[in-house]
Amino acid sequence: MAHLLREVRLDFVGTAPVRHVFAREVSAPPEAVYRALAEDVPGWTQWFSAVTLARPSDDGARREIRLKGGTRFEETILAAKSPEVYAYRVDVTNAPGARAMVEEWRLAPAGTGTRVQWTFAVDGTAPFRFAFRVARPGLGRAFRDAVTALDRRLTAAAR
């Protein structure tokens, strides 16, 4: 059953009760990584294996995301500043116990490539917060695998 989450702003990534921050360097330049994140939303299914559907809506102001296992999100874009930050808030989800969620992707030059930092910030019921804390290793693997696949995709496209 889908439910409406609390409307939070971008500053929630620094104040959320539970935050996971992951970072990795890739060889693709920040502009290419940003385009893949913000401008090619349907392309997420090609590099983020947990994502089965990614569709922009409202002229790119919102997104619909579906994950393996059936989790669904309706999201609002909070920040889209090329090539530095792309962030979105989950407005509606079927994840039980969720109350507020924001994901932020920060990009910074790293040599000829990019340092990609992903912050996943959440609030929810006590069982939801506990489960999210326990999920940290799996989210870290998902991030690492996704960013590695994205880098391969972008490097191949640049050739």
CA angle in degrees (0–180, nearest 5) for 68-17-120:
35
Closest CA to 22 of 129, 121, 112: 121
CA angle in degrees (0–180, nearest 5) for 107-42-116:
15
Say how far apart CA 105 and CA 80 lie, in whole Å.
10
Say how far apart CA 92 and CA 124 lie, in whole Å.
13
Output Rg (C-alpha) for the chain, integer angstroms. 15
Tokens matching residue 96: 């039980």
pLDDT digits (tens, 9 = 90+) for 139-154: 999 999 999 999 999 9
Say how far apart CA 125 and CA 95 lie, in whole Å.
11
Say how far apart CA 142 and CA 138 lie, in whole Å.
6
pLDDT digits (tens, 9 = 90+) for 16-66: 999 999 999 999 999 999 999 999 999 999 999 999 999 999 999 999 999
pLDDT over 70, % of the chain: 100
Question: Quick one: average pLDDT of 103-108?
Answer: 98
